[in-house]
Structure 1
Amino acid sequence: MPDTHLTPVEALLRRFAIAVGALVATALIVYFGGDGYKDANNDDGISLLDAFYYATVSVSTTGYGDIVPVTDTARFMTTVFVTPLRLIFLITFVGTTVELLTERSRQSFRIQRWRTRVRNHTVVVGYGTKGRAAVDTLLGDGTDPADIVVVDTDRAQLDAASALGLVTVTGNATRSSVLRIAGVQKAKALVVATNRDDTAVLVTLTARELAPNVRIVASVRESENVHLLRQSGANSVIVSAETAGRLLGAATTTPAVVEVIEDLLTPEAGFAISEREVDETEIGGSPRHLSDIVLAVVRGDQLYRVDSPRVDALERGDRLLYVRKVTPAEDDD
């Protein structure tokens, strides 16, 4: 069935108006053709109330049989006009149920098809200030919106995420059933950006149980809770309150440093920190002698700073964390 742009209330009101219209039209046909109808309980003819009574029991297919058409004209009017109106009345209400069931089935099919196809996506739990910033960074780095799943309980926040083309899941992410719907078992990363540290711990515990290999990045407000996130299975923990405090302190003495940090953390303008594989021509060389400004080298599962003697010679499979310039074309994208 085609999608409608009406709200649920508007759709119901419109269907109700159609049903009332069919009821009124039937009553008027009976009233003005009253001579052709007979009331078994009253010989005084058909009143307006009788006409509406007949219309009610007729279009609803109840049919008590106390008022019936007795002339050929009345039976013709019943066949040609009342019967179609009865069908319109029934279809209007039955159609509402059918459409609801169809929409639920179609939505269930879409979810099932998405769950069978999705791989290596990113799940973001919480679409508040931190969650939106994380999504903006992912999009700025070139992540497809369809590869980002936002989980939240706030319908308004999910509507805002859906407007960007993101996949949304309504529910409490501390429940394993919600994370399963989000496909956390097949995700490459999980971003926990909740507003409460205890909620972040529960989400991390639940996610780690469902997906032992997924990379979990969590945010906490207080540093004293970092070890709880680590023990729960988080790979990286960001302390939002302390990080903001350090930037505030640095801004009072070295504001230029804070501007550079903000520039590096804003992927859509200026400079950005990116990751790339080592080229064949760079193998054996030092990361400090490359044209790119290299900050660190990832070898296997270990991260080494650029001044570490372990990465004096680059090897095949190494990945470089470097500073890249965002071009105007990338800004437009």
Structure 2
Amino acid sequence: MAVRNRIRNRLRSDQLSEGPDYALVGVISIPELQASPWRAIGKRVVFAVVALFFTAVIVYIDRAGYRDAQNNPLSFLDSLYYSAVTLSTTGYGDITPLSPSARLVNILIITPMRVLFLIVLIGTTLEVLTERSRQALKIQRWRNSVRNHTVVIGYGTKGRTAVEAMIGDGIKPAEIVVVDGDAAALEAAAQDGLVTVRGDATKSDVLRLAGVAHAAAIVVATNRDDTAVLATLTAREINPRAKIVASIREAENQHLMRQSGANSVVVSSETAGRLLGIATKTPTVVEVIEDLLTPDEGYSIAEREVDPTETGGSPKHTKDIVLGVVREGVLYRVDNSKVEQIEAGDRLLYVRQGGPSDD
């Protein structure tokens, strides 16, 4: 009852998804390769020094066409000084080009170098000013192209482990979107190369920003059962076709998750309790279960389509160790009389060696 009351109290809407893309900068984060800021500054400093000495050499070579305020010929130090005040547009006027060749060099070489020098100096400022527009453009392109991805709601221990399992099973990080309201969790997800959306996953507009309407699967891994129920209900309303897998703490809320639209519900407290109980007598069984749940090494549980040569045969006599048969969306254990013979269109739940799935 308490969960139902919290759901009623938290049902509210906003207009996030209807705003312009630049308003979403800081809400949606798309991973990219980040260069070290010190390295970027170092490159600019090196370029500025090279430009300064290059200009000084050009001026020194044509030093006969320059005079200072005392009408003396230029030394290399004078050339370096002239180059510095010229490139920085300070221009004291105490050294001036007099000959036609010196003035031509100023037009063709030193003026373009001055422009490049200024671009380098103000490059960081320009980068900051254009970053918001660049991020908005990336967000717009991403929102227009994201399809058939997986949305993970909550990036705590359960969410991170779920993502690791999916990546180990062959799903690309670019096909996973994380929704969370915690900045530290989103930063961890971004470091893992995932697209992140900051906000409350119980709000429909936040889930729309994550592309839930076009998602193939949704993983609900929140820390609270009431939040999980409401997030599942909202996601199901937005996308009636997606596969929703949810985790809850208490078994008494399992029927609420089913009613909210979850295809599969994992009760974390009971599952952990069973493993603890088994480990007291047969710890090796727990090791095997952990092995089966780890897709990148040892053995793991997977699902595949039936090979045409297997049709009509028994699931017990295939090349793989078959645990069950999925027929019309319903899972039957291998010893069930309804699946004594494999039919076309069935899918087999089997044990395979670790690595990417066959499909």
Structure-1-length-normalised TM-score = 0.70
In the alignment, what sits opposite 2:221? Answer: 193
Q: Match for 1:112: what amino acid?
A: Q
Indicate the SS of the match to 1:111: helix
Aligned equivalent of 1:15: none
Structure 2 residue aligned with 1:260: 288
Please point out which of 276, 279, 282 is paired with 1:248. Answer: 276
Residue type of the alignment partner of 1:316: A
- 2:177 corresponds in structure 1 to 149
Instruction: Tell me what 1:60 maps to.
Output: none
1:148-187 matches, within 5 Å, as 148-187=176-215
Tell me how large the CA RMSD over aligned residues is: 3.8
Q: What is residue 286 of structure 1 aligned with on the other side?
A: 314
Instruction: Identify the residue that residue 48 of structure 1 maps to in structure 2.
Output: none
Candidates 317, 326, 329, aligned match of 2:354: 326
Structure-2 separation of matches of 1:96 and 1:323: 55
The CA deviation string for residues 221-262 of structure 1, in whole angstroms up to 9 with x for no partner, is 111111221121111111101110111011112222212111
1:6 aligns with 2:34: no
Residue type of the alignment partner of 1:168: T
Question: Which moves more between the two structures, 162-171 or 303-312?
Answer: 162-171
Shift of 1:164: 2.4
Equivalents in 2 of 1:211, 1:73: separation in Å? Answer: 71
1:324 and 1:173 map into 2 onto residues whose CA distance is 35
Matched, 1:309 2:334: no
C-alpha displacement at 1:326, in angstroms?
2.2
**Distance in structure 1 (CA, Å) of the matches to 2:288 and 2:35:** 48
1:155 Cα deviation from its structure 2 partner: 2.4
Code of the aligned partner of 1:189: A
Matches within 5 A, 1:33-48: none
- 2:245 corresponds in structure 1 to 217
Q: Write the deviation string for residues 104-123 of structure 1: whole angstroms up to 9, x where unpaired.
A: 22112212212222221111
Q: Which has the higher contact order (CA 8 A, sep 6+)?
A: 2
Q: Which residue is equivalent to 2:161? A: 133
Gaps of 5+ in 2: 1-32, 42-91, 97-116
Counterpart position of 1:119: 147
Q: What displacement does 1:73 show?
A: 7.2
Residue 266 of structure 2, aligned match among 238, 242, 252 = 238
More moved, 294-303 vs 159-168: 159-168
* 1:103–1:296 Cα change, 3 Å: same
Distance 1:73 1:275, change over 3 A: closer
Find the partner of 2:300 among 272, 283, 307.
Answer: 272
Q: Output one character per residue of 1:159-186: Cα deviation in whole Å (capped at 9) or x when no partner.
A: 2222222222222211222211111111
The equivalent residue for 2:75 is none
> Amino acid of the residue matched to residue 181 of structure 1?
L
Q: Say which SS state the counterpart of residue 123 (structure 1) adopts.
A: strand
2:348 partner SS: strand
User: CA, structure 1 residues 3+285, in 2 after alignment: closer, same or farther (shift >3 Å)?
Assistant: closer
- C-alpha deviation, 1:158, in angstroms: 2.1
CA distance in structure 1 between the partners assigned to 2:258 and 2:313 by the alignment: 35
For 2:193 and 2:291, the matched residues in 1 are separated by 26
Give TM-score scaled by structure 2 length: 0.65
Do the aligned residues in 1 keep the contact of 2:291 with 2:297 (CA within 8 Å)?
yes
Q: 1:6 to 1:171 in 2, by over 3 A?
A: farther
Contact 2:292 2:301 in 1 (8 A): yes
Letter in 2 for 1:271: Y
Identity of paired residues, percent? 65
Distance 1:240 1:205 in 2: 20
Alignment partner, residue 134 of structure 2: 106
Return the alpha-carbon distance in structure 2 between the equivalents of residues 258 and 73 of structure 1. 83
Task: Please tell me whether the aligned partners of residues 153 and 221 of structure 2 are also in contact (alpha carbons under 8 angstroms).
Answer: yes
Deviation at 1:270, TM superposition (A): 1.2
Shift of residue 6, structure 1, vs aligned partner: 3.2
CA deviations on 1:73-122 (whole Å, 9 max, x unpaired) are 79x9xxxxxxxxxxx99x989x8775445212211221221222222111
CA contact (8 A) 2:294 2:354 kept: no
Letter in 2 for 1:198: D
CA distance in 2, matches of 1:97, 1:197: 46
Task: Report the 3-state secondary structure (helix = DSSP H, G, I; strand = E; otherwise coil) of the residue aligned with 1:323.
Answer: strand
2:265 match: secondary structure: strand
Shift in CA distance, 296/138, structure 1 to aligned 2, threshold 3 Å:
same
Amino acid at match of 2:207: L
